[in-house]
Chain A
């Protein structure tokens, strides 16, 4: 201790001071305010009244809002399952490519990844629109007889979410499978494991950190990406995210929005905590 007082702190601390201050003022303070706000009462017309209440939390427990949480979680689970099913094989296969192809494929992945999510959603509007590309294709192939009217439906939202988030899973799985020692799989095969058995006992276990971090990276945003539900789902799919936005911007019930956020925050923290417990890693893999 004597030592750090004498030297070491001054410059190291000075360097991290901006980050300390920024985090204190613009992360910790707003977070605290959110928690406080969630216990306050909404004013008649505008703003909040400083009356402590639990009403906001009680409000969440009403069936309507509970259902929203349930729907959000359900959608998130469906999306994550689909993301695993599509993204895991991709990341896994990608890790087996030659290094030139690895570079090419990750480059090809980067472009949609870096393209505005909004723009990409707009592309899906063109596809899903009634009498749009998909309808024309399906009718042209005589699979369907009339327009499916897919836009503003639940499946459209699911497709949009999966589409927006699958790159996270791919990169997470890929970075994990990349580092994997393939000779272990060969060893398993050599010891008599069938390809499937070798995959489930060796490959899957070794890429589990990547898979799990992919789950965290996709599950959390999928509960808050209200704009995808908004654009592709119309008003039909209401998520916690949409609810918070509505309460903030339209109903102007800030305390209730804060309470919703607190609950959502607890949910996400729980997931991250679980992830850390399971994998014992601090930084998410393939996270950038």
Chain B
């Protein structure tokens, strides 16, 4: 009995430490004073500042576009890839699978570096295009793995039954496979989107002079001198994350109840 109490205490303590930095940011986003060690009273002025900060809006917009494009591209390539790979027996399959997983296996810095030098080599102009390619590269593995796991747990005779009833392989994909792997595709996309939205390291290397993403902007601000405006932004992002996590939790929970 005492051991259980101890384990709960430990979990609680670690969680508190985990939330502490986040909580501080939320608190200080309402701080009137610019200096984080001084509490100058409640204020919404940093939110107001955020509302009018054009450059920040641009960065947010860029990040959202980037996240959406790369997670959609990854969803298409990764899903088709996982389904296609499960249907073929090629010698190169294992190698391609391994290579395509590399972007999340190797340190981000290497990925950033190889993309930067490669894009310079082939002469792609740095900007949104290069960002989307780079982000798609590290989003594909998430979708691929999720879909692959789901396919592995799926009854192969369902696909055979559809073919037996007259469906062409592509028809089988759209009528049977896709609806059944949809949850995996969705969670892969969600994860990809979050990863894309969060990425600093790779983005720094492949972005152009004109294209700022949100993490890059926060990073440069952190290095040059912070304004509590970042706190306000972080709080908002936190709120959005919270809503997404809760929603997916509720949706996931409901699905479990159905099955």
CB of A103 within 8 Å of the partner chain: yes
Q: Which of B109, B116, B215 contacts A241 (CB 8 A)?
A: B109
Q: Say yes or no: A105 contacts B15, CB within 8 Å.
A: yes
Q: Say yes or no: A268 contacts B87, CB within 8 Å.
A: no
| Secondary structure type dominating chain B contacts | helix
Q: Which of B84, B137, B231, B238 contacts A22 (CB 8 A)?
A: B137
Q: Which of A18, A103, A257, A268 contacts B107 (CB 8 A)?
A: A268
Q: Say yes or no: B113 contacts A248, CB within 8 Å.
A: yes
CB of A62 within 8 Å of the partner chain: no
Q: Say yes or no: A224 contacts B108, CB within 8 Å.
A: yes
Q: Which chain B residues border A105 with CB–CB below 8 Å?
A: 11, 15
Question: Which residue of chain B has the shortest Cβ distance to A19 in the bound complex?
Answer: B81
How many cross-chain pairs have Cβ atoms below 8 Å apart between A and B? 258
Task: Please provide the chain B residues from 213 to 250 with a CB less than 8 Å away from any CB of chain A in the complex.
Answer: 215, 218-219, 222-223, 226, 230-231, 234, 237-238, 241-242, 244-246, 249
Shortest CB–CB separation between residue A22 and chain B, in angstroms?
6
A259-273 contact mask (Cβ, 8 Å, vs B): 1 or 0: 001001100100010
Q: Say yes or no: B136 contacts A30, CB within 8 Å.
A: no
Q: A96-B4, A118-B215, A288-B191 are in contact. List 20 more A-B contacts (CB 8 A).
A: A13-B88, A16-B84, A18-B81, A19-B85, A23-B100, A30-B118, A33-B117, A93-B10, A111-B242, A115-B237, A115-B238, A116-B215, A116-B218, A122-B21, A127-B20, A220-B105, A220-B106, A245-B204, A258-B113, A264-B109
Interface residues of B (CB under 8 A from A): 4, 7-8, 10-11, 14-15, 17-25, 28, 36-37, 76-78, 80-81, 83-90, 92, 96, 99-100, 102-103, 105-110, 113-118, 121, 133, 136-137, 140, 142, 144-146, 168-170, 173, 191, 194, 197-198, 200-201, 204-205, 215, 218-219, 222-223, 226, 230-231, 234, 237-238, 241-242, 244-246, 249, 253
Interface residues of A (CB under 8 A from B): 4, 8-9, 11-20, 22-24, 26-31, 33-34, 37, 86, 89-90, 93-94, 96-97, 103, 105, 107-112, 114-127, 129, 131-133, 136, 163, 220-221, 223-227, 230-231, 240-241, 244-245, 248-249, 254, 257-258, 261, 264-265, 268, 272, 283, 287-288
